[in-house]
Amino acid sequence: MTHPVLPSVPTPFEPYTLRLPEAGAVPLICDSPHSGTLYPDDFGYALPFEILRKGEDTDVHVLWDALPSVGATLLAANFPRAYVDPNRDVEDLDATLLDAPWPAPLAPGEKTRLGIGLIWRDASKGGQDPIYARKLSVAEVQNRISRYHRPYHAAMQAQIEAAYARFGAVWHLNLHSMPANSYESLQIQSDHPLADVVLGDRDGTTAAPEFTAMVANAFRQRGFSVAINDPFKGVALIARLGRPAERRHSLQVELHRGLYMDEKTRARSVDFASLQSALADISAEIAAYVQAQIPS
């Protein structure tokens, strides 16, 4: 049963939901940083709510619901990414959004240029849907970081380090969904359609090639088209966590929203259950691979 997503909910609320392994634990830590749908009552946005919601990876954590049953950990943000994005570094902030100078050095990158940095500026490509009709105070942005962004990262780091301490290795899946117009939104020219699944390992730097290949094969064997690093390579979370030389592997997984939802209404499609079932099988296959890498 799904619950309605409201334009505003009272704050504060818990920044994330953490589900621990329900079977024998394996060092597979998974997170859905962009599927949060609790919109804080201090957001102060100035555009129609249905447009603002376009940034959500709606229901991604539900699609991957089986992960804890195969021994994995699943962390999911409760807050929306447009409010503060946990898959961005704190320094990736657009200073033009603020009513006063930021008290620390900033390093805005490509995501900020596109309007989707730490604090989103736009809900659509090309600045067609600005989120705010005001400047944000430094204090409110700092509050978003301290109340939501920082606790999410702390929870992720705690699970990663606990798994690594116990097993001497850890595998991380960063779970997302992608709109049909992803190439256009990223201002990328492409001569081929968007794949069903895009795996990102920042050009082979955040995960061992055999792990990326294993996950790709698990999807392909079930009839999904798969691309690697095209057009999504992964952002702050996998860049921070992925160090394969230390047996710390981090892989981003993007699912085409057309596989499971109506992008206009955000309603689940008739294919939702079949995709969820396929992901349950894929989760079990990934967990078995991880288990096999750990000395008995």
Examine residue 27 and state whether it is found in any structural domain, yes or no. Answer: yes
Residue 77 lies in a domain: yes
- Strands of the sheet containing 197-200, edge to edge, are 16-19, 73-77, 28-32, 170-178, 248-256, 197-200, 226-228
Q: Which residues of the chain have pLDDT under 50?
A: none
In a domain, 274, yes or no: yes
Q: What is the pLDDT of residues 222-275, one digit of tens each?
A: 999 999 999 999 998 999 999 999 999 999 999 999 999 999 999 999 999 999
In a domain, 5, yes or no: no
Residue 198 falls inside a structural domain: yes
Instruction: Tell me the CATH number at 65.
Output: 3.40.630.40
User: Does a structural domain hold residue 21?
Assistant: yes
Q: What pLDDT does 35 receive? A: 97
Whole-number pLDDT of residue 1? 61
| Domain that residue 161 falls in | 16-85+136-293
Tally of structural domains, the chain = 1
Q: How far is CA 294 from CA 25, 28, 40, 123, 285, in A?
A: 12, 11, 42, 43, 15
Q: For the segment 225-238, what is each residue's pLDDT rounded down to a tens digit?
A: 999 999 999 998 99
Residue 159 lies in a domain: yes
Residue 143, domain member (yes or no): yes
